[in-house]
Amino acid sequence: MTAAVRTIISAPSALANVSRARPARGRSSSAREAAAESVAPIAGGTPNTARPRPQPATLPTLKTRPPAATIAASTAPSPGSSADASSSPRRPATPSTRQTLTWAETSTSNDARMAKAKSFRKASVKTAVWVRKPGPMAEVAMRKAAPASAPGSRGESCGGRPMAEFNVLTAGDIQSPAFPAWRPMAELKIQTADGSKERFPLSKPRVTIGRARSSDVFLPDQWLSRHHAAIEQRNGAYYILDLGSKNGTLLNGDRVSGDRRLRDGDIITLGEHVLIFSLDDELDERPPEGTRVFSAKELSDIKTKPSIDPEELARQNRVLGVLSEAAKQLIVHRPLAELFEKVLDLLFEAVPAERAAIMLLEGQPAQPVIKASRSRQGERIVRLSRSIVRRVLEKKEALLISSVMDDAAFSTQDSILATGIRSAMCAPLWYTATGLEQDAVIGLVYVDSLMASHSFNDEDVRILTALANVAAAKIENSRLLEESLEKRRLEEEMRVAAEIQRGLLPDSAPVVPGYGVVGSNRPCWTVGGDYYDFGLDAGRLHFALGDVSGKGTGAALLMTVLRAAVRGHWGEGEPAASVTRINRTVCQNVTPGKFVTFFLGRLEPESGRLAYVNAGHNPPIVVRADGSLDSLTTGGVVLGLFDDAKYEQSATELGAGDVLVVFSDGVTETWNRADVEFGDARLAELVRQGRGLDAAALEAEILRELDRFAEGTKATDDRTLIVIKRN
């Protein structure tokens, strides 16, 4: 502690205070002199009012560090000296550097510290006084530590009136447990636009400032973000950080980027609030936490002086009028196209612009797109200066170009000069999110003037920014609502499409004497591209399974084409001829790059003969009654690639107890959490072990095992099965 002195005084009272030697405002000189006489102890024990009034006792200013040893000084007169204060030379009063001892109330904020002084190693203590270095509001905290000493004890003069004894403590003594070291406390002195002032102590390692009520320093200012800035304490220093605010943070007039160290007296500007950072090591300068500090003069001026000047009041009224009209006009929900036109109406009413435009960020990656524009006369805006757009969107700040020709940054831009712009303004459409969402810039509003006689000013850009903030919230809400309605409409359409697709698949398998026949389809999306079918013709069983490339609506539409082709051709001639015709039909209706893997079989129940064609599909598995395995691979290329493709057919026979399983790749390409594929071998083993089950039970076992293997992992492809078993 640089110039602090702690003094232990033996005095008759527990009340003391230190004030400046300059006269107090509003107090007469005679009253001050009388007060000085009433508190100055006289050596004779009785105040003598007939003698010349003494100067108030003063404490010398320490110019160097105190010595290591404790120095004892007494106000009692030395032998042979006069007790009259006027007999000794007077010390000139220096109010700017000295402090006067007077009686005052005890400062209770230092009770705990002063209580420890009872056991201090100096002489017995009657009253403890803490004299701090001179300051504008310096005080002395006192606490009575012991009863007054008995008559005749040290420090007592004749008449029983005690003398004052000073024990001056050194810097080493100040570090003793009785007097713990004082650490400077920082605070913010906050001044609002209406002239009110508050103080906020920075008692936390991180203090947040913003418009949100959850901020440590809550400032209800329309120009602030919900979480605008923060002050952090690191290694004994304080730093200001901007938390991505939309209007920025200024430190001594410069915009804050990153973090900036704060020093005593720095001025922080946040919207319409001015914050002064104070790093104060004076206890008297620091108000108690939670206390609001007011100036008596400011309070007395409230009734006699307006809080702001008329010009500022007129400006605020204009901004509020624009916001009020915007809120009234935008409260009704409109389609986005109508909403854009209404925002343009408000822009032309609010500022004297000749042209205006609204841009929104769309696509991935997001790119600015003009959604609406208008001109009072002439052609409307079809494109904007890339320089202006890039600066506003990247830096997230409003831009005012009062005179394009006088601005070095834009006067050489061809895109600006080509349009003949003389003055322009641009403000981001800043959407303030609620809940856990993040605030974001969704676009911008732009206005300009082609007349050299008119240029926009600071008031215009304030109004444009305020209007842009209101419009951004409405535009984003309308866009989200339209997206929600569109999503709901698509979901309804997908639900109907799924019902239609389920109607195209068999409700149940046909009954074939001596055989068990089942089939199933599980799309991974609402609709899918897998297809299976059965049909009886002249006692023969036709069955088919196809897998259209891709997923979702496109694959489902192509599946309907495949079903129509299969139903139209699977009974014409041998299976190879049927597949050739089916392929030609698919090629005529499929888009480039799309194809279908396909398997067609024709079973003669009495003989068990099975003729088939495999057009690029996963080879079906045949498990014999003895557990041996066969796969059906003969065929040709997938459908839809070559309309003149030729296909071969082959045949096998199903004996008693034999099982045929036809499946799509969604079955064998099921993955679990360990990123392991189910695979053909695992499926073949599962069918071999379950060959004793009937067809329906075996199908159910395969599906259960797939679910068990996937461990809840979402399917990435449709799963389709056909199981045929000869009893």
Q: Predicted confidence band at 377 (pLDDT cuts at 50, 70, 90)?
A: confident
DSSP string covering 461-518: HHHHHHHHHHHHHHHHHHHHHHHHHHHHHHHHHHHHHHHHHHHHS-SSPPP-TTEEEE
- Written as one letter, the residue type at 145 is A
Q: Quote the pLDDT of residue 81.
A: 40
The pLDDT of residue 104 is above 80 = no
pLDDT digit string, tens, across residues 215-240? 889 888 878 888 999 999 998 899 99
| Phi and psi torsions of 186, nearest 5° | -95, 155
Residue 409's pLDDT is: 65
- Residue 716 and residue 727: Cα distance in Å, rounded? 35
Look at residue 413 in the predicted model and tell me its pLDDT: 65
Q: Which residue has the higher pLDDT, 360 or 70?
A: 360
Identify the pLDDT of residue 349: 87
**Contact criterion met (CB below 8 Å) for 442 and 361:** yes
CB neighbour list of residue 179: distance below 8 Å, 6 or more residues apart:
6, 113, 116, 117, 130, 169, 173
- Residues 6+ positions from 46 with CB-CB distance below 8 Å: 159, 161
Query: Which of these, 526, 517, 469, 464, lies nearest to 494 by C-alpha position?
Result: 526
Residue 213: other Cβ atoms inside 10 A: 8
Higher pLDDT, 501 or 652: 652
Tell me the two tokens of residue 121. Answer: 């190693």
Structural domains for the chain: 186-279 (2.60.200.20), 291-302+311-483 (3.30.450.40), 505-726 (3.60.40.10)
Q: What is the predicted pLDDT for the residue at 37?
A: 41
Average pLDDT value for residue range 602-612:
96
Residue 303 token pair: 């009734």
Q: What is the rounded distance in angstroms from the CA atom of residue 314 to the CA atom of residue 321?
A: 10
Cβ 375 vs Cβ 384: under 8 Å: no
pLDDT tens across 609-626, in order?
999 999 999 999 999 999
The C-alpha atoms of residue 473 and residue 490 are separated, in whole angstroms, by: 26
pLDDT band (50, 70, 90) for residue 184: low
Does residue 470 have a pLDDT over 80?
yes
β-strand 206-210 against 217-218: which pairing, if any? parallel
d(CA 10, CA 619): 108
Q: Is 352 exposed, middle or buried (0-12, 13-18, 19+ CB in 10 A)?
A: middle
pLDDT at 162 over 50: no
Q: What is the mean pLDDT of residues 399-405?
A: 81
The residue among 436 and 591 whose pLDDT is bigger is 591
Is residue 119 classed as helix, strand or coil in its secondary structure? Answer: helix
* Best CA proximity match to 496, nearest among 556, 563, 549: 556
Percentage of the residues of the chain whose pLDDT score is greater than 70: 66
Please state the pTM of the whole predicted model.
Answer: 0.46
Q: Report whether 326 contacts 471 (CB < 8 A).
A: yes
* Range with the poorest average pLDDT among 160-169, 320-329, 430-439: 160-169
* Helix (H) or strand (E) run with residue 240 in it: strand 237-242
Residue 93: the pLDDT is 44
Report how far residue 84's alpha carbon sits from residue 55's, in angstroms, rounded to the nearest whole number.
11
Higher pLDDT, 290 or 201: 201
Most confident of 6-20, 101-115, 189-203, 219-233: 219-233
Which two three-digit tokens encode residue 413?
Answer: 């831009």
pLDDT band of residue 401 (cuts 50, 70, 90) is: confident
Q: Which strands form 367-375's sheet, in the order they lie side by side?
A: 367-375, 355-362, 440-449, 423-431, 399-401
Backbone angles phi, psi at 656, to 5 degrees: -60, 130
- Decide which of 368 and 120 is more confident: 368
Over the stretch 243-254, which tens digit does the pLDDT of each residue have? Answer: 988 889 999 989
- Tens digit of pLDDT for each residue in 72-82? 333 334 444 43
Residue, of 96 and 212, whose pLDDT is higher:
212
Write the pLDDT tens digit of every residue in 110-124.
Answer: 555 555 554 444 444
Sign of CA dihedral 635, 637, 639, 642: negative
Taking the alpha carbons at both ends of the chain, their separation in whole angstroms is: 102
Is residue 398 pLDDT above 70, yes or no? yes
Whether the pLDDT of residue 423 is over 90: the answer is no
Instruction: Note the pLDDT of residue 428.
Output: 92
Residue-level pLDDT at 725 = 97
Nearest to 471 by CA among 316, 318, 321, 347: 347
Bond preceding residue 365 cis, omega within 30 of 0 = yes
pLDDT reading at 633 higher than 70: yes
CA angle in degrees (0–180, nearest 5) for 457-461-466: 150
Q: How far apart are CA 169 and CA 117, in angstroms?
A: 12
Contact call for residues 262 and 275 (beta carbons, < 8 A)? no
Higher-confidence residue of 537 and 196: namely 537
Mean pLDDT to the nearest integer, 447-476: 84
pLDDT digits (tens, 9 = 90+) for 309-335: 676 677 667 777 777 777 777 777 788
pLDDT of 514 > 50? The answer is: yes
Give CA–CA dist 559/552, Å, rounded: 11
Question: Mean pLDDT, to the nearest integer, of 509-525?
Answer: 92
Question: Positive or negative, the Cα torsion across 521, 527, 530, 531?
Answer: positive
Other Cβ atoms within 10 Å of 7 Cβ, number: 20
Q: Do residues 420 and 450 touch, judged by C-beta distance below 8 A?
A: yes
pLDDT bracket for residue 175 (50, 70, 90): very low
Whether pLDDT at 600 is above 50: yes
- Say if residue 264's pLDDT is above 80: yes
Q: How confident is the model at residue 412 (pLDDT cuts 50, 70, 90)?
A: low
Tell me the one-letter amino acid at 718.
D
- Taking Cα atoms as reference points, which of 497, 489, 447, 496 lies closest to residue 468? 447
Find the DSSP H helices in 151-308.
171-174, 296-301
580, 645 in Cβ contact below 8 A?
yes
pLDDT of 49 > 90? The answer is no
Q: Helices (H), strands (E): how many in the chain? A: 14, 34
Helix (H/G/I), strand (E/B), else coil: 330: helix
Q: Please tell me which of 20-34, 51-65, 322-336 the model is most confident about, judged by mean pLDDT.
A: 322-336
Calpha distance 192→197 (Å, rounded): 7
Instruction: Identify the band that residue 459 occupies on the pLDDT scale cut at 50, 70 and 90.
Output: confident
Q: Which two tokens stand for residue 397?
A: 């700040």
Span of 78-92, 370-384, 393-407, 560-574 with lowest mean pLDDT: 78-92
pLDDT, position 112:
54
Helices (H), 46-147: 111-115
Contact 416, 387 (CB under 8 A): yes
**Overall average pLDDT of the 344-363 stretch:** 90
* Ranges 268-272, 299-303, 507-511: which has the least confidence: 299-303
Beta bridge partners of 71: 168
The pLDDT mean for the chain works out to 74
Token pair for residue 130?
Answer: 């803490």
User: Which value, to the nearest 10 degrees, does the dihedral of the CA atoms of residues 698, 703, 709, 714 take?
Assistant: 170
548 closest CA partner among 600, 494, 595, 617: 595
